[in-house]
A and B are shown apart, each in its own frame.
Chain A
Amino acid sequence: MIYFRIFWVFLKIGLFTFGGGYAMVSLIENEVVERQQWLTAEEFTDILAVSQMTPGPIGINTATYVGYTATAQAGYGTWASVGGAVLASFAVILLPVTLMLLVVRFLMRHRGNRDVESVFAALRITAIGLIAAAALSLFNVESFGNFGWNSRFVASCAIFAVVFLLSLVPRKGLGKGKLRLPKLSPIVLILASGLAGFLIYGL
């Protein structure tokens, strides 16, 4: 039964996500693309794009979308797939919320505790590595095309470089006056890349 597997997989993902939605990407990729094979690497990257462009927490958006697609892929209809989407979001927050409610008082009292502090410090640092792993695993043929001097690969690398550099612009922007480069939101960057894709491949 697909619902049980979706519930179990997202329960696990929720419990082991430290460091926000981007750190969750590598957990979801590992479970959903590699182990369960509900989605191809291409579909997964497309879902990430949609999750970043639409409002809301990235983790919730990705879980909802993956839940829908996994159910639909298993051959169920639209309404059953909507059920899968809601179930995935519910499962991904169930354990963290329960845990949060249980410890919200306890942890406040123990915030200075040496063991609690050092475990959380290590987890916050490791989360950066998890995000890096997610980015590295997306450097694949599906995202960039075959490696070499072909138009798809060169165009992909150019888009990557421009978006990467623009994402590193600090929140308050760079430079002054007319030359000021503002911080661009992910939605602007994704829409511009989509337009570039249409101009390069679609015409």
Chain B
Amino acid sequence: MAKYCELFYSFFKIGGFTIGGGYAMVPLMEHEFVDRRGWMSGDEFLEYLSLAQSMPGVLAVNMATVVGYRMRGIAGALVSILGNVVLPISVIVGLAIFFRSFRDNSVVNSIFLGIRPAVVALIAAPVFSLAKRQHLTWHTLWMPILAAVLIWLLGISPILVILAAALLGFAYGRLFKRPKTDNKDQ
């Protein structure tokens, strides 16, 4: 029981008090699980992180799933997820109720006229920092550019673009990469 409380409390803290989304939570999670609680080694943490990043969905919730599962099975995963999202959901619901009754207020309106271009900038900036982190080269740069043009200019569904990219990645791996001989499933 104590372990469930610890899981809930850890994820409650990380989810409820981090602004800036899942990537901002990563250093906090590492500090909490590796340094403070000693639940796993740094290498194990990175392995879970790359797993959570590779899977679809919300990064923080995926991390809660894998860490909670590792500690206490499926119940541990569910407790961790609940801890991670309960405060953010409550805050947003509260704000949504409050904000709908103030939408036509002229002061609120003028504030949001200033905020809107800032939001666009906050979404545009990670494009460049992520491109750097993923080590994009001239061989791979065309993929995100083509994806952006297909979705933005031609109005193609992002879902189709993702499926096509998965297929392309599969074909590329088959054609150009050598299979690893030490694979366990061979």
Contacts and interface: CB of A to CB of B under 8 A. Distances in A.
A39 interface: no
A57 B140 contact: no
A167 B169 contact: no
A186 B122 contact: yes
Interface in B49-106: 51-62, 65-66, 69, 74, 77, 81, 84-85, 87-89, 91-93, 95-97, 99-100, 106
Contacts, number: 392
A33 interface: no
Interface residues of A, number: 116
Interface string A96-136: 11011101100111111111011111111111111111111
B2 interface: no
A35 to B, nearest CB: 9
B38 interface: no
A130 to B, nearest CB: 6
Contacts of A65: 92, 95-96
Interface residues of B, number: 100
B85 A56 contact: yes
A92 B40 CA distance: 28
Contacts of B1: none
B75 to A, nearest CB: 11
B147 A133 contact: yes
A55 B116 contact: no
A162 B91 CA distance: 29
Interface string A138-180: 1100111000000010011101111110011000000000000
B110 A200 contact: yes
A14 B81 CA distance: 15
Contacts of B146: 129
A69 B89 contact: no
Given A58-B58, A104-B69, A111-B47, 9 more contacts: A45-B119, A50-B95, A61-B88, A64-B92, A96-B61, A118-B173, A159-B114, A161-B121, A163-B117
